[in-house]
Structure 1
Amino acid sequence: MRKLLLRSAGVPVALFVSLFYLQPVAHAQGCVAAHSPQPIIAGLDPTNSATISRSAGGNFLHGLTISVGYRVYNSYKHYIGTVYQVQRQTNHNAVVNHVNLFEMDLNYQFTPRLSAIATIPALDASRHGQSSPNNVYHSGGLGDITVGMQTWVWRPPTESHGNIAFSAQLKLPTGINDAKGTTVTKSGVRQTEPFDESIQPGDGTWGFALGTQAYRELYWRTSGYFTGFWLFSPQDTTGTLTFRPAPGENVVSATDQYLWRGGFSRPVTGVKPLRGLALSIGGRMEGVPVRDAFGSSNGFRRPGYVISIEPGMMYEHGRWGMYASGPWAIERNRKTSVTDLANHTHGDAAFSDYSVIAGVSRTF
């Protein structure tokens, strides 16, 4: 990390906020979340070293930052509400999802405060029953791309070593939402039908997202950070059939998604080989609401949330940045959906214990 960055604890935390901003929102682990755009990383902070060096003295040059991220998890623990359904494991009828999420984020800086951002997500996933590990369904492809703008309230770098940013993005219906496979019914009939929505790359509907991020240096070079993101899906359903027999659950619901993160970050000091390294610890909540903020919420969905403890690290050297985090779930809740309420039932959902997130970025 350049000398200019090492003078401020606010910059490492800003990098944390930016590199983890808009992470898989509701790649809430397991079946709860659809896999519409939930960027693992997004729009890099204009206070990074490359931008500071270019804008020093008022000679600001346009710059492009490209980031590539990855997230992986296995969901297999079923919950109804916050109650773990241990009998699913005992009876060997649990459903197991293995999900690999990939993402490319683009940030083009127009001014120190204003940038254009875009996210291109992709998914590779498999799903099988605990009792039938050889009968595996694979799904993968492009997700729903988002494009938009991000702006900082104050021109970075700030004297207070703190700032607030807001973003707005349009979600494009580019994602595959009806990937299909062949299944065998109880009567032995083979039929082709869409995969479960938990392993569909996108939902194929239009939407928009609003986000914010903030950081502030506190004491002893320790800084606090916060990020928030909400993906709005006004369309009622995606149009993809589920072939579920319960009333109202024959089609997939187009769901909102959200992510909240907050915590503390501190650069590693006093050890020359570790210059450029910062560590963080915080909390994370991501999920799918029972009802969307706009429009109806009919169709089949698995609403709920995951609350996690999230340790992380980030290393920055020149124009390169690397990061990793490992959210560990401490509370999982599969909430009652609209169709559950109408049918007087309460479906379950599978969650993972933890996920691994990693990535790298380069400013040009």
Structure 2
Amino acid sequence: MKNRVLPLLRGLPRTNTLLLTILCAGASTSFAHAQGCLAAHTSQPVISALTDDGHGGFNRSGLHGLTVEVDWRSYSSFRHFSGEVENTQRAVLNTQIKNHQNIYEISASYQLTPRWSVNAFVPVLQGTRNQKYPPNGIYDIAGIGDMVVGAQAWVFRPPTENGGNIAFSAGLKLPTGLNNGTGTGVLKGVTQKYTADQSLQPGDGTWGFTLGTQAYKTTYFRTTAYFQGSWLFNPEDTNGVPTFRSQPGENVMSATDQYLFRGGLSRHVPKVRGLAASFGGRMEGIPVRDAFGKSDGFRRPGYIISIDPGIQYSYHRSILSVNGPWAIQRNRRASVTDLAHGTHGDAAFADYALVVGLTHSF
């Protein structure tokens, strides 16, 4: 719900390079990607893929430059929540639904000027789900998600003398994703191919746009504070894909907005060249109502708040990052159809996720 722009901030001091590598991780595989059934499978901006030449400096090969990033995010959701209350009885009765997802993304950014860059993101999702309500079955879906193309601009021309900067980004979401993947299920005694749950669909197949911002500032004790915020706007109401749900108004999938906010502190690890550690928090999810257009159809609105520790290692023109967001609050909010019928559906959330990213600048 990961957002992902990869500008090169050439000429920054080595300390800032190491500290800011935190911003290449954590959000890198989806726009929101709430850890569970909150279906959010589009991209999230990354603040900076900074390069280190391995000799205490930066890659200064020229103004123009291409950066490529490959990310992987994996999680398993199994804890069901209605509101902030966990439905522990589902585990006791063995009715909980287990969702496992691997989400990959290939992204590329090209630096046009020190302030401006253009970018493109291609997400790929593979997921399995043991669905225990009709149509019952084990669903396994894989496919390309909705691509995003866009641009980002820094407010101040890098490098800045005050050790801080802020950027704004915008992107166009293309309806390239698989949104009607099917699996074998059983409905009213009939075994055949049925549309998989919304959480397994790699994309929603609608046009949309993204807006984002990201900032950093060097603070005391050679520590850098960072912040990211992004929102995916889906103006279309529904995408027309059937859900086989019985509650009125939930027969087709909703085209949902998605959001992600994260921030924290990062610091170079003393006496270890190229290594930085970070700690922060993140909030991601799907709103009950979209910012534009209607919010009909089936959706699982809600959010997850996590602590977000990570490490990053920079070597020459490459950065390896590993983050482990751990949930501390989960909330499955009532949807528009829930409110209309006096009900409150649930959603399965994960305890944690593993996020690994590899960035290389050419």
Calculate the TM-score normalised by the size of structure 2. Answer: 0.91
| Equivalent residue number for residue 339 of structure 1 | 337
| Equivalent residue number for residue 31 of structure 1 | 37
Residue 248 of structure 1: how far off its partner (Å): 0.4
Letter in 1 for 2:96: A
The 2-side partners of 1:195 and 1:96 are apart by: 14
The 1-side partners of 2:190 and 2:252 are apart by: 22
Aligned counterpart in structure 1 of residue 94 of structure 2, from 78, 85, 92:
92
Residues 197 and 145 (structure 1), Cα distance of their counterparts in 2 relative to 1, 3 Å cut: same
Residue 334 of structure 1: how far off its partner (Å): 0.1
CA RMSD, 1 decimal: 2.1
The 1-side partners of 2:37 and 2:182 are apart by: 17
Contact 1:22–1:228 (CA under 8 A) maintained in structure 2: no
Residue 231 of structure 1: how far off its partner (Å): 0.3
Q: Does 1:10 align with 2:16?
A: yes
| Equivalent residue number for residue 252 of structure 1 | 253
Task: State the Cα deviation string for residues 37-80 of structure 1 (Å, max 9, x = none).
Answer: 134x64744x544695427xxxx431100000000000000000
Residue 184 of structure 1: how far off its partner (Å): 1.1
Task: State the Cα deviation string for residues 7-40 of structure 1 (Å, max 9, x = none).
Answer: 55433333322444565232101111232x134x
Q: Does 1:349 align with 2:347?
A: yes
Q: Does 1:154 align with 2:164?
A: no
SS at match of 2:37: coil
| Equivalent residue number for residue 215 of structure 1 | 216
| Equivalent residue number for residue 130 of structure 2 | 128
| Structure-to-structure mapping, 1:212-361, within 5 angstroms | 212-269=213-270, 271=271, 274-361=272-359
Contact 2:172–2:209 (CA under 8 A) maintained in structure 1: yes
Residue 253 of structure 1: how far off its partner (Å): 0.2
Task: State the Cα deviation string for residues 135-179 of structure 1 (Å, max 9, x = none).
Answer: 521001000000000111111121111110111000000000000
How many residue pairs match? The answer is 348
| Structure-to-structure mapping, 1:34-113, within 5 angstroms | 34-35=40-41, 37-39=42-44, 42=46, 44-45=48-49, 48-49=51-52, 52-54=58-60, 60-113=62-115
Residue 6 of structure 1: how far off its partner (Å): 9.2
Residue 309 of structure 1: how far off its partner (Å): 0.3
Contact 2:70–2:359 (CA under 8 A) maintained in structure 1: yes
Task: State the Cα deviation string for residues 92-135 of structure 1 (Å, max 9, x = none).
Answer: 0000000000001101001111100111100000000479xx95
Contact 2:77–2:348 (CA under 8 A) maintained in structure 1: yes
The 1-side partners of 2:46 and 2:219 are apart by: 25
Calculate the TM-score normalised by the size of structure 1. Answer: 0.91
Contact 2:12–2:159 (CA under 8 A) maintained in structure 1: no
Contact 1:173–1:203 (CA under 8 A) maintained in structure 2: yes
SS at match of 1:95: coil
Contact 1:65–1:361 (CA under 8 A) maintained in structure 2: yes
The 1-side partners of 2:163 and 2:119 are apart by: 23
Greater helix fraction, Structure 1 or Structure 2? 1
Task: State the Cα deviation string for residues 238-282 of structure 1 (Å, max 9, x = none).
Answer: 11011111010000000000000010000012x2xx211000000
Give unpaired runs (5+ residues) of structure 2: 1-9
